[in-house]
Amino acid sequence: MSHPKGMPKQSRISQAVDQIVNNSISVETAGDTDALVKGTEKWEDIDVMVNEVANTMMEMVNSVEALIAQAGQTGLLLPGSDSHKEFFQHRQSFFDDITQFTKKVQDVRKLHEGKSGRMTTLAELVEFSAVSSNYYDMIGELQILLSPSVTSMFLILNDAAQTAKEAAAEQPAESATGA
């Protein structure tokens, strides 16, 4: 093996290390296009995830609307009471969060708007995967973001119903002893 003038001759170990390093840097890309040929992913597949996010949002909104209707129909929350204020603070927080979340969904939707059919390039497949990942993450994030407000509203109504039930149970006993 020849070596440049002025440079010391490389040892066998050094040559072996260089060979391993040079070989390990090469990236095998021969099978990359197989993913495109064999893949069944289509941009329309993302619609399933979009619908799942939308359905989860609607279920949560319907739950909150049912709680609000229950609060109004039962009169359990006296206007001006702490429980009334707390209930409506959670309601406001819920709808603020759902508004912000909706904007996030719209931003992700723009990433795949107008795209259809199968992936034709590796870049497109990577983009599809990233968008899919965003929607998948959103489903869990939606639960984490909104569940505390919904749960708090439910518990406030439940506590108010329990308090009203206890007060109603005490009234007949008081009127019997007070007469």
Give the chain's end-to-end CA distance (angstroms, integer).
117
Cα(69)–Cα(82) distance, integer angstroms:
19
Q: In the structure, what pLDDT confidence band is assigned to residue 145 with cuts at 50, 70 and 90?
A: very high
User: Which helix (DSSP H) or strand (DSSP E) does residue 25 occupy?
Assistant: helix 12-25
Identify whether the C-beta of residue 153 lies closer than 8 Å to the C-beta of residue 90. Answer: yes
Cα(121)–Cα(35) distance, integer angstroms:
10
Q: Is residue 176 part of a domain?
A: no
* Joined tokens for residue 4: 């440049």
CA angle 136/27/133 to nearest 5° reads 5
Residue 22, pLDDT score: 64
φ, ψ of residue 42 to 5 degrees: the values are -130, 155
Q: Is residue 116 part of a domain?
A: yes
CA angle 118/119/125 to nearest 5° reads 140
Domain housing 151: 36-168
Q: Is residue 177 part of a domain?
A: no
Q: In the structure, what pLDDT confidence band is assigned to residue 16 with cuts at 50, 70 and 90?
A: low
The whole-model pTM stands at 0.69
Q: Is residue 175 part of a domain?
A: no
**Residue 175: pLDDT over 60:** no
Residue 46 identity (one-letter amino acid):
I
Cα(21)–Cα(12) distance, integer angstroms:
14
Which whole number is the average pLDDT over 12-30? 63
Q: Is residue 115 part of a domain?
A: yes
Q: Is residue 76 part of a domain?
A: yes
Q: In the structure, what pLDDT confidence band is assigned to residue 28 with cuts at 50, 70 and 90?
A: low
Which whole number is the average pLDDT over 1-5? 53
Q: Is residue 51 part of a domain?
A: yes
Query: Between residues 103 and 18, which one has the greater pLDDT?
Result: 103
- Considering its fold, how many domains does the chain have in total? 1
Q: Is residue 61 part of a domain?
A: yes
Q: Where are the alpha helices (DSSP H) in 26-81?
A: 32-38, 46-74
**Residue 173: pLDDT over 60:** no
